[in-house]
Amino acid sequence: MDTKEKIMKQVRFILVMFIIALVVSGATAIPVDPQLSYLLRWFPLETPAHQWISRVLHAYREVNEKHPFLLYGYDWLAFAHFILAILFTGPYRDPVRNIWVIEFGMISCVLVLPLAGIAGYFRGIPLGWQLIDCSFGIVGFAVLFTCYQLIKKYILLQNIN
């Protein structure tokens, strides 16, 4: 297998992993109550994490009971993740022609940081939780940047041959 084929395999592997991560992330936006209930069992009672998750679960249940239409936002959050996953099938099929999708993804990952900081502050989200949210943007950027560099390397090799 020549270098160009190896690069293309790496790019496609990275994209498959990224697509799977988007789908899984979207799927977790739907069964919120069971997930939070499950998480509560993992953290000791008097820890900040347990207290925060307990507060979030209580609020979720209260909203579900009194204003279930607000939870429609979770459905749309899941939908957005699924659509973004579909978007990344373009670079999987033709990474060179669809490199713009990778660039779009990297920009989106960078924008996670100010959104988490600004919205998190105004919504009263604990700093630790905001940093967890930021980590998704940082990891996503690192993955997509690696993919971007490989595609650029592939383009360079294509132009040489």
pLDDT digits (tens, 9 = 90+) for 33-89: 999 999 999 998 889 999 999 999 999 999 999 999 999 999 999 999 999 999 999
pTM recorded for the entire structure: 0.89
Please choose, from the candidates 100, 103, 105, the residue with its C-alpha nearest in 3D space to the C-alpha of residue 85: 105
> Which residues, other chains included, contact 40 with Cβ-Cβ below 8 Å and sequence gap of 6+?
50, 53, 54, 57
Residue 58: which H helix or E strand, with range? helix 48-66
The one-character DSSP state at 30 is S
The whole-number average pLDDT for the span 100-113 is 98
Per-residue model confidence (pLDDT) at position 135: 97
The mean predicted confidence, pLDDT, of the chain is 95
pLDDT digits (tens, 9 = 90+) for 107-158: 999 999 999 999 999 999 999 999 999 999 999 999 999 999 999 999 999 8
Give me the torsion for CA of 76, 77, 82, 84, rounded to 10°. 110
Please choose, from the candidates 53, 21, 39, 5, the residue with its C-alpha nearest in 3D space to the C-alpha of residue 158: 5
Other Cβ atoms within 10 Å of 15 Cβ, number: 24
Tell me how far CA of residue 109 lies from CA of 62, 63, 120, 143, in angstroms.
32, 29, 16, 10
Residue 90: which H helix or E strand, with range? helix 89-93
Per-residue model confidence (pLDDT) at position 93: 97
3-class state of residue 105 by DSSP: helix
Other Cβ atoms within 10 Å of 70 Cβ, number: 11
> Which residues, other chains included, contact 96 with Cβ-Cβ below 8 Å and sequence gap of 6+?
151, 154, 155, 158
